Structure 1
Amino acid sequence: MAAAAQRILLLGGGNMGAALLGGWLDKGLDPARVLVVDPKVGDTLRPLIERYGVRHAISVPQETFDVALLAVKPQMMGAALPDLRDALISDSLVISIAAGTTIASIEGLLGEHPVVRAMPNTPALIGRGVTGAFANERVDAAGRKTADELLSANGPVEWVDTEPLIDAVTGVSGSGPAYVFHMAECLAKAGEAAGLPADLAMRLARHTVAGAGELMIRSDQTPAKLRQNVTSPNGTTQAALDVLMAEDGLAPLIERAVRAARDRAEALSKE
């Protein structure tokens, strides 16, 4: 990793922060280059500290860092960031994964820096995440490469051209895993209502959702084509799709859900 020579501060060692850290370490990052600042050591972070000897502190020390990755909750940014100012130099790269927290608000708390605003998702916990990212004008090619390496340790990174699009990314992939989990819940409940034992219906739903997702990743065909491949005319799948693809079916519902998540991300930036 090009980031291997950087001094990295990870502010927040919760599930997502620890997932990113685990990805860096798996990619060969020297644990001595990283400091995790968090008042608590949770169940996701503790094994990394014990296995790799990653440094941990409850507050920002009197050191300077080349990269600061902000993995605290949006509502904690106002309290957590001012202590970070003295740990950064003028060209320190700041990467934020806090939903709805704008680059302007980060600069208001830290001063002007190269800032990347990113939105990963929870499959990063198993190295299967995807992250949307936007860089401000102070991020040069080297800074973007460093950010890309750090964020891609848990899955691909997709860069967007304008900052507001990060809120749309939040609506699609940031919050998206919850939609899929809920679909599995609904599918299992529907199977139970159709007469299946509850535990069997849940196993079928979990494996169906997981298997279909893996097939989409491995296939070079579009989701639409994959759907068509398993849909026989006048068959059982077609009967189900006639319901899901009706004018008031799944598509408008998902569009409303994504819009609601995007709008909430936009609202968070004003709170």
Structure 2
Amino acid sequence: MKKILLLGCGNMGGALLKAWAANTDHLFTVADPAEPELPKNVAQVRSVDELGEDMFDYLVVALKPQLIDRVLPDYLPHLAADGTISSIAAGYSAAKLAAHAPGRSVIRIMPNLPAVIGKGVSGLYAHGSVTETASREIEQLALCSGEIVWVDNEDMLDRLTAVAGSGPGYVFEMLRAYVEAAEALGFDEKDAKTLVLGTVQGALELALGSDRSLEDLRNNVTSKGGTTAAGLAALNGTGEFSDLIRDTLQAAYQRAVELR
């Protein structure tokens, strides 16, 4: 059982905290001046003065990046000498976190939006000399909200952000366009949404439960000269859709690099 201090408790931090508190036996304290809805048995302080002499094994940063430099230094004295800093803040590097506490271990977690329902994909990056125990315990926290992928360097975490962190936005936009196209074929909004979301959900579950490649699954529903073949030719017959997806990820990655 570890003592964990969570700095900030916004939408993502609060959602992760609920998963962590429900699936681990760690003791959590939230430092936030607002009035977030907290799980049972999670303590809250509204300022550093309320911590008294309490010490913590982990300090998890869930602040907006522009607040970290101002807030983090006040709470660092409450991190145990062998404690680890972790962060779910996007756009704030592990090196910057480590600069606040030289010699301390830092682990960044990059969650994505479906983590709020336990279906997320999170990237993890360990900066500096991180103990096996710390890596394992932070990994267990991340697993509470879905799948995880460890990366070897922060550049790969930026690339993961482009794929998974920003990914739900791309998917929602594609779904929006798909529903709009169904409406253009004559379906009302409700039926179009039912058809599109049901089709996507079924296809996704089929892919997740199959050992076959995505290409094989696509070919399995594509008869030569049929309706699916005609639709696929319009969608990606010259590779334009594939190019667009590559350009989308590259643009997001370049922006992540700029924000370092």
Note if contact 1:84-1:110 (Cα within 8 Å) is conserved in structure 2.
no
- Offset of residue 220 of structure 1: 2.5
Q: Which residue of 2 aligns with 1:25?
A: 21
Alignment map for 1:80-229 (pairs within 5 Å): 80-229=71-220
Note if contact 2:21-2:28 (Cα within 8 Å) is conserved in structure 1.
no
Q: Which residue of 1 aligns with 2:47?
A: 59
CA distance in 1, matches of 2:70, 2:89: 14
CA distance in 2, matches of 1:237, 1:57: 57
- Offset of residue 114 of structure 1: 0.9
CA distance in 2, matches of 1:224, 1:80: 49
CA distance in 1, matches of 2:116, 2:145: 8
Q: Which residue of 1 aligns with 2:10?
A: 14
Could you say if the C-alpha distance between residues 267 and 228 of structure 1 is closer, same or farther in structure 2, counting changes exceeding 3 Å? same
Quick one: percent identity of the two aligned structures?
A: 39
- Offset of residue 257 of structure 1: 1.1
SS state at 2:256 partner: helix
SS state at 2:120 partner: coil
Note if contact 1:132-1:158 (Cα within 8 Å) is conserved in structure 2.
yes
> Is residue 39 from structure 1 mapped to residue 49 from structure 2 by the alignment?
no
CA RMSD of superposed structures (Å): 1.7
Note if contact 1:70-1:98 (Cα within 8 Å) is conserved in structure 2.
yes
Structure 1 gap segments, 5+ residues each: none
Note if contact 2:98-2:105 (Cα within 8 Å) is conserved in structure 1.
no
CA distance in 1, matches of 2:118, 2:182: 30
- Offset of residue 248 of structure 1: 5.1
CA distance in 2, matches of 1:109, 1:231: 56
CA distance in 2, matches of 1:267, 1:162: 16
Structure number with greater CO (CA < 8 Å, separation at least 6) is 1
Aligned residue identity for 1:264: R
Aligned residue identity for 1:126: I
Q: How many residues get paired?
A: 257
CA distance in 1, matches of 2:4, 2:253: 30
- Offset of residue 245 of structure 1: 1.9
Q: Deviation digits for residues 51-99 of structure 1, max 9, x if unmatched?
A: x131112223232210111112222222221222211133211111111
TM-score scaled by length of structure 2 = 0.92
Q: Deviation digits for residues 207-230 of structure 1, max 9, x if unmatched?
A: 222332233222232322222222
- Offset of residue 152 of structure 1: 0.8
- Offset of residue 37 of structure 1: 1.5
CA distance in 1, matches of 2:57, 2:175: 42
